């Protein structure tokens, strides 16, 4: 079993493995190139991001600077938006559904380390996947920890540290992040099309 295979299976692995170093360097070089593009170079940015990530939708926008460890372990759905300073440590799989909005200075950390200091000191580490559903909004400064699954139709309040799973249809905030309340059907707007939602907004008094 290679160190890469160990990493993706959640086993202890050596982070200084030459293959893993080469994979990270490729991703970091692409991220560096992405972060040097002018904001107006939108088509070049999309083309480069498709080289970084495993899968993207047709419509997405990721503001620079953006950093990722491997890229090839991260997938994003349609209408994905990430504001400035998004960091994804995708030593494990990191997936996002459709219509995910990420505020500035957010981090998604699949990478983790042993509690025992002796293991950390010999470059042993491991990873746990992160999965995010659809129609999710992360406020600024949210940090998502290894192994967390977040459902669909969720709002995570600014500054939250998400240490455990969050179910569908809730607002959750805090450190550690806890459920504040459920979303109402009106807030979720599940039965309305985007055109119907816009029509309602235009008819506001």
Cα→Cα distances 150→46, 136, 160, 167, Å: 26, 8, 13, 6
Report which of 152, 154, 157 is spatially closest to residue 174, judged by C-alpha positions.
Answer: 157
Q: What share of the chain is helix, strand, coil (3-state, %, to 5)?
A: 25, 30, 45
| CB burial of residue 149 (10 Å; 0-12, 13-18, 19+) | middle
Concerning whether 4 is annotated as a catalytic residue, the answer is no
Among residues 4, 84, 113, 131, the one annotated as catalytic is 113
Residues marked as catalytic: 113
């Amino acid at each position: 079993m290679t160190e890469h295979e160990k990493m993706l299976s959640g086993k202890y692995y050596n982070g200084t493995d030459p293959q893993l170093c080469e994979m990270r360097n490729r991703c970091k070089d692409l991220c560096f190139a992405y972060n040097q593009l002018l904001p107006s170079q939108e088509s070049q940015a999309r083309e480069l991001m498709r080289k970084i990530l495993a899968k993207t939708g047709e419509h997405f926008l990721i503001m620079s600077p953006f950093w990722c460890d491997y890229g090839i372990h991260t997938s994003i759905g349609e209408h994905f938006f990430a504001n400035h300073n998004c960091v994804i440590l995708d030593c494990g799989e990191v997936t996002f559904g459709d219509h995910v909005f990420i505020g500035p200075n957010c981090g998604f950390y699949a990478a983790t380390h042993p509690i025992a200091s002796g293991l950390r000191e010999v470059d042993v580490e491991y990873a746990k996947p992160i999965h995010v559903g659809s129609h999710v909004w992360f406020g600024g400064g949210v940090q998502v920890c290894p192994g967390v699954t977040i459902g669909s139709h969720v709002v995570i309040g600014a500054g939250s540290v998400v240490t455990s799973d969050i179910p569908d249809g809730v607002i959750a905030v805090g450190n550690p992040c806890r459920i504040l309340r459920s979303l109402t059907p009106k807030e979720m707007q599940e039965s309305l099309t985007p055109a119907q939602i816009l029509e309602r907004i235009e008819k506001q008094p």
